[in-house]
Amino acid sequence: MNKYRLAFIASLIILAAVGATLPKARGKQILTRSSETKSTSLYYYLDQLGAAYDHYFTIEASWAEGEVTRWMESYKLKRSPKKENLGLELEELRRLVPHFTYTIDQKNPKIIHIMDVRLTGIQGYGLESVLKSIDFTGTLPNLVNAISQQGISVSVGGSVFTSDYRPLDFGTEVHVKGEALKVRDALTHFIPLEGRGRVLWVARTKLGQQATSSIQFYGPAKQSSK
C-alpha cells in the first residue's frame, strides 16, 4: 500500500508541475502572436491593398504648423489587410487614420484618391484648381512645371523619406490635352498604369491659405524608346 500511495502522490506532484507551466506556455504564445503583428506605414498598407484588389492610389497629404510633419505619411498601422472588400478596408482606414478621407476617380474607378480632409477648406488649393486649357507633351515633373506656369500653386517635390522604398519617376512622358481639367485629373488620367507601383503620386501641402502643393510621382519610369 505504501508503494501505491507513494506512486499516487508522485503523480499528483507531476500533474501540478505540468499545470503550473501551462499559463506560461500560453503567455509565450500570446507574446509570439502579438510580436507577429508588426506596424506598417500607411503607404505600404495601400500598396498591399492595391495589389490585392488591382487598384491604384493618389495621396494628398498635409500638415499644420507645430504638428508632426507629413502626419499621414508617418502614421503606422498595426493590422494586415483582410482582403475581403476594398470598400470595407477604406472605411476602416477612415476610422483609424486621422483626417483620412477618399474618393473614387470618376473616369477610372480603379483609381482611389486618398486625401487629408483638412485640405478641402484651403482657398486656392492647387489640386482643386481648374486648367482653362492645356496641351502638354513631356515628362511628369515638367507637367507640374507647366501647370505652375498657369499660376497654380504646385511645384515638383524635392526631399523624400530615407525609408521610402518606392522609385521616383522623372522619365515617363505623357501627352496631356484638354479644357476645364482639374489639376488632380491632369496629374492622373494620362499616366500609363502598366508596370507601375500602386501609389501613382503624392502631393504634400502645408495647411494655410495659398499654400503650394509639392508633387512627386512614383514609377518605375518607363524607358524612353529613343
- Please enumerate in sequence order all residues whose Cβ is within 8 A of that of 195, keeping only pairs 6 or more positions apart, or say none: 220, 222
Q: How far is CA 133 from CA 1, 128, 178, 181, in A?
A: 103, 15, 6, 7
Do 154 and 125 contact (CB within 8 A), yes or no? no
Mean pLDDT taken over the chain:
81
A 10 A CB-CB count for 179 gives 10
Q: For residue 135, what is the enclosing H or E element?
A: strand 130-139
- Summarised one tens digit per residue, pLDDT across range 187-222 is 999 999 988 999 999 999 988 777 899 999 998 644
- Summarised one tens digit per residue, pLDDT across range 99-148 is 999 999 999 999 999 999 999 878 889 999 999 999 999 999 999 999 99
What is the C-alpha to C-alpha distance for residues 37 and 52, in angstroms, rounded to an integer? 19
- Summarised one tens digit per residue, pLDDT across range 185-195 is 999 999 999 88
Q: For the chain, which residues make up each domain, given as ranges?
A: 1-36, 40-217
Query: Greater confidence, 152 or 164?
Result: 152
Q: Which residue has the cell 507551466?
A: 21
| Alpha carbons within 13 A on the beta-carbon side of 8 | 5
